[in-house]
Homo-oligomer: A and B are copies of this chain.
Amino acid sequence: MPSADSAYGELLDRARESATLGSCAAVLGWDERTFLPPGGSGLRGRQMALLARMCHEMATHPRVGELLQILEDSELNGTHAANLREWRRGYDRAVKLPSELVSELASVTSEAQSVWQEAKHKSDFALFRPWLEKIVLLKRREAECVGYVEDAYDALVDEFEPGATALELTRMLGGLSRDLAPLVAEIVAKQPSADESLWTQQYPLDVQEQICREVAKSVGFDFHRGRLDTTSHPFCTGIGPGDCRILTRYHVNKPFEAFFGTLHEAGHGLYEQGLLESEWATPCGMAASFGIHESQSRLWENQIGRSREFWSAWGPRFRSAFSAFRSTSDEEFWCLLNQVKPSLIRIDADEATYNLHIVLRFELELALMSGDVAAADLPGAWADKVRQYLGLPVPDDAHGCLQDIHWSFGGIGYFPSYTLGNLYAAQILEAAEKQIPALWDGVREGQLSVLTDWLRANIHVHGQRFQPAELIQRVTGTPPDPGAFLRYLRGKYLGVAG
The answer to the question of A372 belonging to the interface, with a C-beta cut-off of 8 Å to chain B, is no
The answer to the question of A241 belonging to the interface, with a C-beta cut-off of 8 Å to chain B, is yes
Across the interface, do A239 and B46 meet the contact criterion of CB distance under 8 Å? no
Across the interface, do B31 and A225 meet the contact criterion of CB distance under 8 Å? no
State how many angstroms separate the Cβ of A279 from the closest Cβ of chain B. 15
Q: Which of A8-47 contact B (CB under 8 A)?
A: 17, 20-21, 23-24, 27-28, 31, 35-44, 46-47
Of the candidates B42, B50, B242, B245, which one forms a contact with A43 in the assembled complex, judged by CB atoms under 8 Å apart? B242
A311 to B240 CA separation, bound complex (whole angstroms): 49
Q: Which residues of B contact A36 (CB under 8 A)?
A: 243
State how many angstroms separate the Cβ of A215 from the closest Cβ of chain B. 18
Given contacts A17-B50, A42-B241, 7 further A-B contacts (CB under 8 A): A24-B51, A27-B27, A37-B245, A38-B224, A39-B224, A40-B225, A43-B243
Q: Which of A244-270 contact B (CB under 8 A)?
A: 244-245
The answer to the question of A85 belonging to the interface, with a C-beta cut-off of 8 Å to chain B, is no
Interface residues as binary, A41-82 with B (CB distance below 8 Å gives 1, 0 otherwise) = 111101100110010000000000000000000000000000
State how many angstroms separate the Cβ of A452 from the closest Cβ of chain B. 17
A124 to B50 CA separation, bound complex (whole angstroms): 41
A243 to B46 CA separation, bound complex (whole angstroms): 13
The answer to the question of A222 belonging to the interface, with a C-beta cut-off of 8 Å to chain B, is yes
A42 to B54 CA separation, bound complex (whole angstroms): 22
Across the interface, do A43 and B240 meet the contact criterion of CB distance under 8 Å? yes
6 cross-chain pairs, A with B, having the tightest CB-CB distances, nearest first: A40-B243, A39-B242, A39-B225, A40-B242, A43-B240, A39-B224
Across the interface, do B17 and A24 meet the contact criterion of CB distance under 8 Å? no
Q: Which residues of B contact A21 (CB under 8 A)?
A: 50
Across the interface, do A239 and B43 meet the contact criterion of CB distance under 8 Å? yes
Q: Which of A208-258 contact B (CB under 8 A)?
A: 222-227, 229, 239-245
Q: Which residues of B contact A23 (CB under 8 A)?
A: 43, 47
Q: Kindly name the residue among A36, A47, A224, A241 whose own CB sees the greatest number of chain B CB atoms within 10 A.
A: A47
A31 to B245 CA separation, bound complex (whole angstroms): 12
Q: Which residues of B contact A223 (CB under 8 A)?
A: 37
- A selection of 29 A-B contacts at a CB cut-off of 8 Å is A17-B50, A20-B46, A20-B47, A21-B50, A23-B43, A24-B24, A24-B47, A24-B50, A24-B51, A27-B27, A27-B28, A31-B31, A37-B223, A37-B224, A37-B243, A37-B245, A38-B224, A38-B242, A39-B225, A39-B226, A39-B241, A39-B243, A40-B239, A40-B240, A40-B241, A40-B242, A42-B241, A43-B240, A54-B54
State how many angstroms separate the Cβ of A347 from the closest Cβ of chain B. 24
A40 to B224 CA separation, bound complex (whole angstroms): 8
State how many angstroms separate the Cβ of A242 from the closest Cβ of chain B. 3
Q: Which residues of B contact A17 (CB under 8 A)?
A: 50
Q: Which residues of B contact A229 (CB under 8 A)?
A: 35
- Can you name the residue of chain B whose Cβ is closest to the Cβ of A36? B243
Q: Which residues of B contact A20 (CB under 8 A)?
A: 43, 46-47, 50
A444 to B396 CA separation, bound complex (whole angstroms): 49
A50 to B40 CA separation, bound complex (whole angstroms): 24
